[in-house]
Amino acid sequence: MQVIKYILILLFMVSFTAQSQLEFKNMHYRHRLEKSVPYFKLDKQTHSSIFPVLESSVYSQKEAHSKEDRGYFNLTNVNNETGNRPYSLKAYPLIALGAGLNAQNQQGIDLQLTTGLGAAIDFTAGKFLISGKFLPYATKGGFVRDSIYQSVNYDPGASRAIFENGFLQSELLLAYRPNRFFTFIAGQGKNSFGEGYRSLILSDNAMANPFFKIETKFANVKYVNLYQIWKDNTIDPSDKSLDKKKFAAMHYISWNITKSFNLSVFETVIWQANDTLINRGFDPNYLNPIVFYRPVEYGNGSADNVLLGANLSYKFDEHHSIYTQIIFDDFLLKELRARSRWWANKYGFQIGYKSRDFLGNENLYFQTEFNMVRPFTFSHKHSGQSYGNLNASVTHPVGANFFEVLNIVSYQPKKIRYTNKLTYTAYGVDSSNVSYGQNIFVSYSNRVGKYDHLVMQGYRKNVLNETFIAEIPILPKINLYANLTYNWRMEISETGTQHNHAILFGLRSRIWNSYTDF
């Protein structure tokens, strides 16, 4: 391991460090549970449901040469009294190397290979930050991503194919924090709202997209304005020429009512850049940072897609918390009271519990979560107004029409971290001619009737997904880990039961989430 460290340091590491610096915290779920202390902090200034997190860091000369920071070569001295650096420039490698075996039922054993090498560059100077990460990779083998995505030459969470069986994970972010009240972030990347492993409001499931975000922080409130550009292509997502542009504007307000209790409220509107009548482009009516979107939509006389949501969390102490999330697409109380199972009562619900020192055991993380989304939620009459980006949901990877229960247990007794993730998902898949509400990119007009629409209706599938990961840090400061992964996926449907077993060894940069656990 030491040899690998020093080779990587000599060949790839460059760092010019010289004022406190801005830095984006890693969004990967295992990094978040490993560095979970800030998310359980009891104060009115911490807003733990808004991602990515941009923080200010200062380093002393001692820390700059600590064992944890090994891999950074400092060309300038650090002021030990203030920790200030006028600027910081860091360049380091991104790596995706993996090999393993994949077996499905009686179909034999396939070899799976992943090779990728990229780079990351972070430059910060006072109130500015530029961060870029680019990791092209090639994959080969019979790994089953899930039972929904059947697209060729397309990874919904990363990119289209840049060459045969080759894809690109990337982001480019620019941040400016002029004072403690305002933060401006723009670029090509991912955003997420929520306390859970999943998010039914906005997640990092889909590929990175252009966005502009304003974060306003005052007293115990953080207010977020987020404007995004998405793509719609239900014909062939691997063909760029068929893309159609659509936009999303979002408001998210996080209010720490007490040190323990947080209430967050969310709204968004999605519209297509072009419809059958006009070329709308970006509608300036949605630029107002404080207006409610539903009245604006009605005022425009449009049929844009508006969703409302809320997030609640309560921290019992600095070790345990519960959280819940709800999303409304359409809703009619009269139909709910009548128990008519009306198709347009479209909503989703999440509840969960997490602990960073479970049962009093230090370094033992536990999380359990339940998610439910009714049929047709997030869909619209036209795919250009559905709540997704290039054939991938921007919330839960299944889309809609499902129940899910998941558990995560992670323990790091010494240097090696062991993580076990178990998910059970039950959902109904559409037929070739009828929409049962799972595929959010299919028009809800293709349904059968108005009433008696139940969760999991359609061609039902039950999926149990078990993943065990053992990983050891190689260069933790640049998120480089060696890991061993075992995955077992069992799918039960009308046609029978399918088992998929995979065991993988790898050396990977642990930066982006890849949701293959359903």
pLDDT for the residue numbered 175: 97
**pTM of the entire predicted model:** 0.90
Question: 414 to each of 32, 172, 173, 506, how far by Cα in Å?
Answer: 18, 34, 34, 20
pLDDT band at 239 (very low <50, low <70, confident <90, very high): confident
Residue 514 falls inside a structural domain: no
Q: Tokens 């600095």 identify what position?
A: 318
pLDDT band for position 152 (cuts 50, 70, 90)? low
Q: Quick one: pLDDT band at residue 88, thresholds 50, 70, 90?
A: confident
**How many helices (H) and strands (E) are present in the chain, helices listed first?**
5, 27
How far lies 495's CA from each of 76, 260, 359, 459, in Å?
65, 48, 42, 10
**What CATH number is given to the structural domain containing 342?**
2.40.160
Residues in the chain: 518
**Is residue 212 in a domain?**
yes
Distance of CA 13 to the CA centre of its chain: 28
The pLDDT assigned to 295 comes to 57
E strands within 82-126? 88-104, 109-125
Residue 126: predicted pLDDT: 83
**Sequence-distant (≥ 6) Cβ neighbours of residue 503 within 8 angstroms:** 100, 101, 484, 485, 486, 487
Residue 385's identity, in one-letter code, is: Q
Q: Which domain holds residue 504?
A: 2-509
Mean pLDDT, to the nearest integer, of 37-54? Answer: 91
Taking CA 370 as the corner, what is the angle to CA 365 and CA 372, rounded to the nearest 5 degrees?
A: 155
User: Cβ of 359: how many Cβ atoms within 10 Å?
Assistant: 7
Report the percentage of the chain scoring pLDDT > 70: 85
Residue 148 lies in a domain: yes
Cβ atoms of 460 and 467 within 8 Å: the answer is: no
Mean pLDDT of 479-497: 93
> For residue 478, which phi and psi values (nearest 5 degrees)?
-110, 15
**Euclidean distance between CA atoms 265 and 223, whole angstroms:** 10
Residue with tokens 């102490």: 317
DSSP per residue, 428-457: EE--SS---S--TTS-GGGSS-SS---TT-
CB 444 within 8 A of CB 380: yes
When mean pLDDT is compared across 212-226, 266-280, 316-330, the lowest value belongs to 266-280
* Cα–Cα distance list, 266 to 218, 272, 311, 403, 476 (Å): 18, 21, 8, 22, 35
CA-to-CA dists, residue 234 to 61, 150, 372, angstroms: 54, 12, 25
**Does the pLDDT of residue 14 top 50, yes or no?**
no
Which pLDDT score is estimated for 51? 96
pLDDT of residue 61 exceeding 50, the answer is: no
C-beta of residue 467 within 8 angstroms of C-beta of residue 486:
yes
In eight-state DSSP terms, residue 25 is P
Q: What is the mean pLDDT of residues 118-134?
A: 92
Q: Quick check: 327 pLDDT over 70?
A: yes
Residue 515 covered by a domain:
no
Per-residue pLDDT of 131-141, as tens digits, reads: 999 999 998 86
Structure tokens at 337: 């009271």
Instruction: Give every CB contact of residue 498 below 8 A, 6+ residues apart in sequence.
Output: 104, 105, 490, 491
pLDDT at 198 over 60: yes
How many folded domains does the chain comprise?
1
Going by pLDDT thresholds of 50, 70 and 90, the confidence category of residue 76 is: very low
Average pLDDT, the chain: 86
- 99-112 pLDDT tens trace: 999 888 767 788 88
Is residue 154 very low, low, confident or very high in pLDDT (cuts 50, 70, 90)?
A: confident
Give domain status of residue 518, yes or no: no
Tens of pLDDT, residue by residue over 355-383, are: 999 998 888 999 999 999 999 999 998 89
Q: Which residue has the tokens 């969960």?
A: 352
Would residue 496 count as lying in a domain?
yes
Scan for tokens 């009294």, then name that residue.
81
Lookup: tokens for 142: 């019979």
Share of the chain above pLDDT 90, in %: 59
Report the C-alpha gap between 196 and 406 in whole angstroms: 11
25 inside domain: yes
In 261-345, beta strands by DSSP E: 261-272, 305-315, 320-330
